[in-house]
Amino acid sequence: MDKNNDQDKNNQENHENKQSESDVDLIPGGRIYQYFTKQRHRMLTPNLNRMAMLIIVLALLLTISKSIAIGTGQSIYCLECRSCLAVGDDCPADLQPSELVIAARTGDYKNFIKDGGLECITCGECVEYCIVDIDIASVIGTMQDRTMDAIKAGRIPNNLLVEALEEDRIGAEYVEEVEEYLLEQGVDVK
Ligand code: SF4
Ligand code: SF4
């Protein structure tokens, strides 16, 4: 008799389980969620999680490697907060260091020149204003070297260089080199 009762109980539980699997959608879109959580589809969840993690890791690696490969080391930590603009009149070249660090991060030589990056004398006055301790002067110094390499490799349009010379956005240290390069290209800048 007890055995029969147990059997009935089991049958009833099985029936309830089956019924709960085919429950109606109580919230709109709920079935989509249920699809990934039902017992028979449960294996999909860890696989989807792994795929999502892989995509996130790949995106992070791409972002980081891009900054390291093209930009200059520490610029990767720049938060674009622009706190370093507080240097104000203490910057002897009247520059906006934040824009130069941001340009350095992506190896944006054109904007670096336009924003006066080649005018910076790497005095370091702005460094103390960086909230994440980036050595701004060092970042800009490295970027200046790379920008000069880019100029000599013909990767910067001549008209942009001529314009920068006319507007005194090339520092004294680099003027001669830039003029020489332009003369070699047949551009008379004298
Ligand atoms: S390091 Fe360059 S940007 Fe910073 S204060 Fe000196 S001249 Fe200005
Ligand atoms: S203060 Fe530092 S983190 Fe903020 S913009 Fe300037 S360099 Fe970037």
Atom of ligand 2 nearest to the CA of 79: 3
| This prediction's pTM | 0.68
Domain assignment of residue 125, given as a range: 71-184
- Kindly state whether residue 40 falls inside one of the protein's structural domains: no
- Kindly state whether residue 172 falls inside one of the protein's structural domains: yes
CA–CA separation, 92 and 3 (whole Å): 94
89 CA from centroid of ligand 2 (Å): 17
- Kindly state whether residue 42 falls inside one of the protein's structural domains: no
Atom of ligand 1 nearest to the CA of 123: 6
Any idea which ligand is nearest the CA of 101? 2
Mean pLDDT by 10 residues, the chain (190 residues): 61 56 53 56 71 91 70 85 97 97 94 97 96 93 96 96 96 96 88
- Per-residue pLDDT at 1: 47
CA–CA separation, 180 and 183 (whole Å): 5
- Per-residue pLDDT at 65: 72
Please, what is the Cα angle at 38 between 36 and 43, to 5 degrees?
60
- Kindly state whether residue 34 falls inside one of the protein's structural domains: no
Please give the tally of structural domains in the chain: 1
